[in-house]
Amino acid sequence: MFDVGETLVDETQMWTRAAENAGVTPFTLMGVLGGLIARGEHHDNAWAILGVEHPEGTWTMDDWYPDALQCIARLREAGVRVCASGNTPRSVEDDLRERVDAVASAASWGVQKPDPAFFAHVVELAGVAPEKIAYVGDRVDNDVRPAIAAGMVAVHIKRGPWGHLQAPPASAIRIRSLDELPAVLP
């Protein structure tokens, strides 16, 4: 199971577009986001701090990390069921539907990570017991700890700002690239 957000998508371009849509510089938005991460606050607080409306998120297939689609293909070729979910809009589901075995979004479920109900939906989506699910994400607060609490194998990928600023618990598998994922899965 992949977190669609920071695990598969290089959010640099998405956040840059969001900054432009909100009328602030990307540097300003990235600085505020870094401060929020360091304080353990939700990233949506950035818009109130900046005094602007929350712009619509935009992701395109051009925003994907180079290792993402290759990893998905390798896992599926090895017979691993690959599912994807995240705190994303419904439109992301359409981009992924042909690339994974199952996909859903927080928007479709009406609940966001780190809520335990989100991870209960993940179990339903995957169609297997929680301990058979490897949940891959970069955020310790939104991905790793809630996945462990739900009984899943948590895989922390050290990428994006959260991946570098948050330290995962010892029980999480740690990777730096999705190229490493197939070899570390139990």
166's CB contacts (< 8 A; 6+ apart) are: 37, 139, 140, 141
**Tens of pLDDT, residue by residue, the chain (186 residues):** 666 566 777 778 888 888 998 999 999 999 998 899 888 888 889 999 999 988 876 677 778 888 998 999 999 999 999 999 988 888 888 888 999 999 999 999 999 999 999 999 999 999 999 999 999 999 999 999 999 999 999 999 999 888 888 899 999 999 999 999 999 997
Q: What is the pLDDT of residue 17?
A: 87
Do 130 and 159 have their domain in common?
yes
Residue 133 CB coordination number (10 Å): 23
181's CB contacts (< 8 A; 6+ apart) are: 71, 75, 136, 155, 175
Number of separate domains in the chain: 2
Tell whether 56 is covered by a domain.
no
Do 86 and 43 have their domain in common?
no
Decide: 171 and 154 in contact? Cβ < 8 Å. Answer: yes
Backbone angles phi, psi at 85, to 5 degrees: -155, 165
Do 39 and 69 have their domain in common?
no
Do 107 and 180 have their domain in common?
yes
Tell whether 86 is covered by a domain.
yes
Q: What is the pLDDT of residue 3?
A: 64
Do 33 and 116 have their domain in common?
no
CATH assignment at residue 124: 3.40.50.1000
172's CB contacts (< 8 A; 6+ apart) are: 140, 144, 148, 154, 155, 156
Burial class (CB in 10 A: 0-12, 13-18, 19+), 181: buried
Q: What domain range includes position 70?
A: 2-10+61-184
Do 135 and 65 have their domain in common?
yes
Do 104 and 148 have their domain in common?
yes
Q: What is the pLDDT of residue 5?
A: 61
Do 78 and 145 have their domain in common?
yes
Tell whether 124 is covered by a domain.
yes
